[in-house]
Amino acid sequence: MDQASATTSSNPSPGNIRRLAGDLFRSAAAAGRQQLDATELDTLLAAFGLGITAAASSARGEAELRISLNRTREFGMVLSAGLGGLDAELDEGNFRRDRASVYAAAELTDADDFLALFRRTLAWQRLSARARRDGRTPPEAALREVFAALLELAAGPWSGCEFMPECLELNPVCAADGLAVGAARCEFAPPPPARLARPTAKIDKLIHPKSIGIIGVSSTSMNFGRIILKNLMGSGYPKEQLCIIRPGESEIDGVRCVEGLKALDGKLDLLIVAVAASAVYELVDEIIETDAVESVMLIPGSLGETRASREPAAALAERINAAHGKPGGGPIFLGANCLGVVSHPGNYDSWFIPLERLPKPPKKAERNSVMLSQSGAFMITRISQNPWLDPRYMLALGNQTDLTHGDLLSWFAGLPEIETIGIYIEGFKDGDGLDFARAVRKAVCMGKEVVVYKSGKTAPGMGGVMGHTASIAGGPVLFESVVRHAGAIVAEDFNTFDDLFYIAGALHGKAISGRRLGAISGAGFEAVGMADSIETDSFAMEMGALEASSVTRVEDILKAKKLDALVEVRNPIDINPGADDEAHLQIVEAFLSDPNIDAVVVGLDPTAPSVRALEVSKLRPGFDINDPKGTVHLMPPLVARNAKPVIGIIDGGSLYDAMSARLMDQGVCIFRNCARGTRALVRYVEARLQADALRRRTIR
């Protein structure tokens, strides 16, 4: 009998591990303990086909592993594995991602998938190297069976039970002919309380409202409420569908006023609350009691962000949650500390940023992305710096008093017109990390890309998060590993978020069939810089080998441009600063036609005198971006007719902003630095290939 079948045959039938664990937890609890003792641990591990032995073969120099199942606040049950023994105490920040440990939400993995994840670690590499040295095969089957048993334990169902696993850690685990556990511990606790489900179908009312009311509009000054009113009208929302809740006034800025919620002549789709934070508590109770509103936007800050407000804010969240148990589910709430919503299909902008400070002209033929952000200012700065992100919807979540990251991502994941989703996170509500990971997987399996940046990676950062939106910032390694495994593209910083969200939108419709890159530039440093930027911590592209016919085609182009004596055809290729617009793009097309090239990055050499890159040329009048022979005119149709992705690099100062903008306006993916552009492409290709693998696994 082989090792896999031997281990399996020692395991109880499905469901027995959970029943056994439940019995052991109750027995330990009756003895006043919250963890299993040595005898109980032996009984539980025997169900996995394992036992604890003090002679676990670390003395023979075997690789030490750590295998753990932990109930986390954000993601529920998480399976992890990696370096064990003393190595497990090393700071994971000292290793490249997936090297020290790997993590996955138990619900989103299986034994084979997690084993594939584990193979990325140093622990697996050490274990494999030792096995090869000793002439034996690595214990894949035994590891798979342990992962399967732990996942069965994690699966529950634990709802309604007295206790559930809090953690089960095996460390060290040594592998030779099988697995030997040197030490183990298992803790348990009552299942955490669950929030009632939010009636998320009402998100449609929030972003496509047929009627909007506002509370907090001043009739005498330009307060936040008045700015929001101006923005609503300035963005084209019909006045006749607006109303202001303000006693003693008949109209403000031509919009009718009503005395209060009970005076409304129908149920509002959306109510925007822009009053002082101290007035919110009583007002929310009135909103719930009158049942006059489908969705609510809470603008005021400080709810739950200060020591004095945390207890009242928590009680407010409990009352909102309780209302979801009533018939109809009660209203949904966005915020508090919420900048608001921009909904282009809903024809409204409720941000309290005057339109003159942040105009939102269309930059895409069809807006097809969403930005969700816990911080409204994050969205403002991103859009101000790169209007080509141009989301269809932008929502600020603020404190997540009610609607959460998981709620909103799950809802937008189901919209067929949405292709890319960018998200800024400061922290999750209890259990919402799992809902979020589920929503990421849902979105990716439906063909969308999800780009995520999470703040609070350091102790000072976590403190800042708590003071901003009253969020609990979880561990960054756990977050990144679980969310990336779910299918998201996780950004390390603000610039990377911008790059990845932009490239995901620009290349969504392009075919990603492999990892072979073609790199072209008239600047030698740039061609080499592209080649030097093709590796990440977990993935690498490669420079594609040009076919002989492609080499001949490029040689003919160079000869026609009288550059053949100066340039050797290779990949990456430095085509000389003497190459004009046409030469650049003809060589791009030659590379794209090569079956050994999956994507192209091209430096467009704006400072080269032979390239039409200036808005106006004083030295050569007419030799500028308006010339029909220039890149601005020739590149967009080339990009459109080719299924493979093309990244253009315009590395130059403000003189070349116009060239860049004109190309981006026509849907060409442009970066202003070869390293940033190439790295973004590599991360995007990695995510697309992983998404394809996820979808194939889901279909099976």
255-311 residue pLDDT tens: 999 999 999 999 999 999 999 999 999 999 999 999 999 999 999 887 877 788 889
Cβ atoms of residues 190 and 163 within 8 Å: yes
Q: In the predicted model, what is the mean pLDDT of residues 645-667?
A: 98
* pLDDT for position 457: 61
Q: What is the dihedral of CA 482, 485, 489, 490, to 10 degrees?
A: 30
pLDDT classification of 62: cutoffs 50, 70, 90:
low
* pLDDT for position 613: 98
Q: Where are the domains of the chain?
A: 3-189, 200-506, 511-692
Q: Do the domains spanning 200-506 and 511-692 agree at the CATH topology level?
A: yes
Q: Which CATH number fits domain 3-189: 3.40.50.720, 3.30.470.20, 2.40.128.20, 3.30.9.10?
A: 3.30.470.20
**DSSP of 93-144, one letter per residue?**
GGS-TTTSEEEEEGGG--HHHHHHHHTTSHHHHHHHHHHHHTT----HHHHH
Does pLDDT of 124 surpass 80? yes
* pLDDT for position 93: 62
CATH level 3 topology of 511-692: Rossmann fold (3.40.50)
Strands 348-349 and 341-343: antiparallel
Q: In the predicted model, what is the mean pLDDT of residues 384-411?
A: 97
pLDDT classification of 90: cutoffs 50, 70, 90:
low
pLDDT classification of 87: cutoffs 50, 70, 90:
low
Q: What's the rounded Cα separation, in Å, for the pair 557 and 435?
A: 54
User: What tokens does 1 get?
Assistant: 């009998």
pLDDT classification of 697: cutoffs 50, 70, 90:
confident
Q: What's the rounded Cα separation, in Å, for the pair 567 and 645?
A: 25
Does pLDDT of 13 surpass 60? no
506-554 residue pLDDT tens: 999 999 999 999 999 999 999 999 999 999 988 999 999 999 999 999 9
**Higher per-residue pLDDT: 303 or 471:** 303
Does pLDDT of 195 surpass 80? yes
Cβ atoms of residues 539 and 686 within 8 Å: yes
Percent of the chain predicted with pLDDT > 70: 92
| Domain at 200-506: CATH code | 3.40.50.261
Does pLDDT of 501 surpass 60? yes
Percent of the chain predicted with pLDDT > 90: 80
pLDDT classification of 699: cutoffs 50, 70, 90:
low
* pLDDT for position 268: 98
Q: Structure pTM? A: 0.92
Mean pLDDT check: name the lowest of 83-87, 137-141, 260-264, 487-491.
Answer: 83-87
Question: What's the chain's average pLDDT?
Answer: 91
Q: What's the rounded Cα separation, in Å, for the pair 496 and 543?
A: 23
Q: In the predicted model, what is the mean pLDDT of residues 552-574?
A: 96
**Higher per-residue pLDDT: 490 or 699:** 490
Residue 636 burial class via C-beta count within 10 angstroms: exposed 0-12, middle 13-18, buried 19 and up: middle
Mean pLDDT check: name the lowest of 35-39, 249-253, 297-301, 484-488.
Answer: 297-301
**Cβ neighbours, 10 Å, residue 692:** 14
Mean pLDDT check: name the lowest of 103-112, 456-465, 502-511.
Answer: 456-465
Mean pLDDT check: name the lowest of 183-197, 295-309, 338-352, 396-410.
Answer: 295-309
pLDDT classification of 179: cutoffs 50, 70, 90:
confident
**Higher per-residue pLDDT: 84 or 675:** 675
* pLDDT for position 88: 65
Residue type at 128 in one-letter notation: S
